[in-house]
């Protein structure tokens, strides 16, 4: 009886409900840790033609991007390098086995954020920028075209970085005949500026880029360890990354670790993600409870599913 009341084991040798629950929690935590995808930096191939080999490009708002259906056909079966375990949420399971976090598609909030950059005249010149949960990487590409000093791209899935993000950066920033116009030029349909045209055909722009895959907490550790002296981001751009409340803690801590004291995060999201449970107000409340950042809703979009753009800054920043 005494044993039982202490919650260890009962006399039949069966674990008490409390112990069983604790064991289950331990196992769940262990499983969760085992499922955390390690971070990796992707090197940029010497031969840039190889990056675009077999790629079919499409265009949106003057930006080139890899046509996904062709990637799926050419890559299926050789994505084991992902080494991803745990649950599969993939409708692209041929291309990405294991956990797939949505980076193969360009999600609509990316376009909301691109519009916002033009409207609010967000300045990228000489800034250090992170495109967090980049997928196609269009936000980072806009920053590069706006003459950011450095742009780092991160996606959960390494296949997305190799087959989508890197080719898109190369196609938009290097290929002959492509222009490096700023986001402002694009919105107003102005001709590309002469200053930016100089970058055509030059690989210099790639020297300003780095590419990472892996789970957020792992990537932030890799970045903090590999950037000495510690490099923080002036701008972190992130679109459609708060759909799953299970990731809020890792996302919040990553922003806190990587954002410069006076930096800004621009986060675009649907108000609510049906089925997954995340959404802008839930994340706003999460941030409020943590008491590290202040937030402001800088734009609301009402067409179709309601969407928002949130600006995040450290509480004590200028």
| Residue numbers at the binding site for ligand SAM (CB under 6 A) | 101-103, 106-107, 109-110, 133-136, 155-157, 215-216, 239-241, 247, 250
Nearer to ligand SAM, 100 or 293 (CB): 100
User: Which residues have CB under 8 Å from 295's CB, separation 6+?
Assistant: 284, 287, 288, 310, 311, 312
Q: Which of 296, 298, 301 is closest to 315 using CA atoms?
A: 296
Rg (alpha carbons) of the chain, rounded to whole number: 22
Nearest residue (beta carbon) to ligand SAM: 133
Nearer to ligand SAM, 161 or 206 (CB): 161
Asked if residues 114 and 93 have their Cβ atoms less than 8 Å apart, the reply is no
How far apart are CB 250 and ligand SAM at their closest, in Å? 6
Nearer to ligand SAM, 117 or 247 (CB): 247
Asked if residues 144 and 209 have their Cβ atoms less than 8 Å apart, the reply is yes
How far apart are CB 212 and ligand SAM at their closest, in Å? 10
In b/e form, how buried is each residue of 89-109, taking b as 16+ CB within 10 angstroms? ebebeebbbbbbbbbbebbbb
Nearer to ligand SAM, 102 or 181 (CB): 102
How far apart are CB 262 and ligand SAM at their closest, in Å? 24
Task: Mark residue 277 as left, alpha or beta (left: phi above 0; alpha: psi -120 to 50; beta: remaining).
Answer: left
How far apart are CB 258 and ligand SAM at their closest, in Å? 13
Nearer to ligand SAM, 113 or 199 (CB): 113
How far apart are CB 267 and ligand SAM at their closest, in Å? 10
């Amino acid at each position: 009886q005494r044993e039982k009341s202490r919650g260890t084991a009962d006399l039949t040798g069966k674990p008490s409900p409390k112990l069983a629950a604790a064991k289950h929690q331990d196992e769940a935590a262990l499983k969760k840790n085992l499922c955390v995808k390690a971070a990796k930096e992707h090197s940029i191939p010497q031969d840039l033609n190889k990056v675009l080999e077999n790629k079919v490009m499409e265009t949106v708002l003057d930006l080139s991007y890899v046509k996904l259906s062709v990637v799926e056909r050419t890559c299926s079966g050789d994505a084991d390098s992902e080494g991803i375990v745990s649950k599969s949420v993939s409708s692209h399971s041929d291309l990405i086995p294991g956990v797939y976090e949505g980076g193969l598609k360009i999600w609509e909030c990316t376009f909301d954020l691109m519009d916002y950059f033009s409207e609010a005249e967000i300045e990228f010149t000489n800034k250090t920028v992170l495109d967090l949960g980049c997928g196609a990487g269009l936000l980072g590409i806009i920053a590069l075209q706006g003459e950011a000093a450095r742009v780092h791209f991160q996606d959960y899935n390494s296949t997305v970085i190799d087959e989508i993000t890197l080719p898109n950066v190369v196609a938009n920033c290097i290929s002959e005949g492509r222009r490096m116009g700023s986001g402002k030029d694009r919105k107003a349909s102005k001709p590309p500026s002469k200053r930016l045209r100089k970058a055509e055909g030059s690989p210099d722009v790639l020297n300003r880029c780095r590419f990472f895959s892996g789970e957020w907490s792992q990537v932030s550790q890799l970045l903090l360890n590999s950037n000495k002296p510690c490099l923080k981001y002036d701008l972190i751009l992130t679109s459609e990354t708060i759909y799953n409340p299970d990731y809020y803690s890792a996302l919040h801590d990553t922003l806190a670790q990587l954002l410069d004291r006076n930096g800004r995060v621009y986060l675009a999201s649907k108000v609510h993600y049906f089925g997954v449970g995340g959404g802008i107000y839930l994340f706003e409340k999460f941030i409020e409870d943590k008491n590290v950042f202040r937030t402001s809703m800088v734009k609301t979009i009402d067409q179709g599913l309601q969407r928002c753009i949130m600006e995040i800054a450290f509480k004590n920043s200028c």
